[in-house]
Chain A
């Protein structure tokens, strides 16, 4: 199984600021994803982080708001830009090591925007 770590584990931020979340996987993985889980709800995919190219965003999510980097096969970052209270959520990094019959999640970053 893949071990995924995220930093920070939680943060409280002011409206209008930005936060960058880091995700580190302990092995090289093809696929990395960023999900959001709002309070009491299920997981919603934000984007697929592609190594060496731009991320692929889901409907409702845009690069200006959620820029993503993936410089190599073990690391990715998600930035939540110009935050508002509606961005308060848990942000989860996920990876899929080969073979593609499993998918693992990091511990999540709990973000509160005041």
Chain B
């Protein structure tokens, strides 16, 4: 079976840094994805990791350790508009579907 865990909720202050963790246990691994989803909207693709290490894209970075079944999404210089749900998803097979975690609801406070 597939199991993906991430915290349900997190709160941080505008301008701060927040790290959202994701651990996974899946029958295979061919990539880990992070999405941002604002209330009432579709998920927006943020990042993709398939090799160990850190991928940086502006204020957002994503890290992967395949041996530990672990990833995190790092958000720097938080803005109010970053308040959203962040979804971790694993693709067990190259041509297969994504399996999603339950999402982390991030609230950014002024």
Binding site for B on A (CB under 8 A): 1, 30-31, 33, 41-45, 48, 58, 92, 94, 100-108, 110
Contacts and interface: CB of A to CB of B under 8 A. Distances in A.
Q: Could you tell me the dominant secondary structure of chain B's interface residues?
A: loop
Given A45-B98, A107-B41, A107-B42, A101 B31 contact: yes
Contact of A100 (B35, B87, B95, B99): B95
12 contacts: A41-B102, A42-B101, A44-B100, A45-B98, A92-B42, A92-B43, A100-B31, A103-B45, A103-B98, A105-B35, A105-B44, A106-B42
Given A42-B87, A42-B103, A104 B97 contact: no
A105 B98 contact: no
Nearest to B102: A42
Given A92-B42, A103-B45, A105-B43, A48 B100 contact: no
A43 B43 contact: yes
A106 B42 CA distance: 7
Contacts of B45: 1, 102-105
Given A31-B95, A101-B48, A108-B42, A42 B31 contact: no
Given A43-B43, A104-B45, A106-B42, A48 B97 contact: yes
What interface size band does chain B fall in?
A: 20 to 34
A45 B99 contact: yes
Interface in B77-110: 87, 89, 91, 94-95, 97-103
Contacts of A100: 31, 94-95
B2 to A, nearest CB: 11
B57 to A, nearest CB: 13
Given A31-B95, A43-B87, A92-B42, A102 B101 contact: no
B72 interface: no
Nearest to A108: B42
B33 interface: yes
A1 B95 CA distance: 18
Contacts of A110: 40
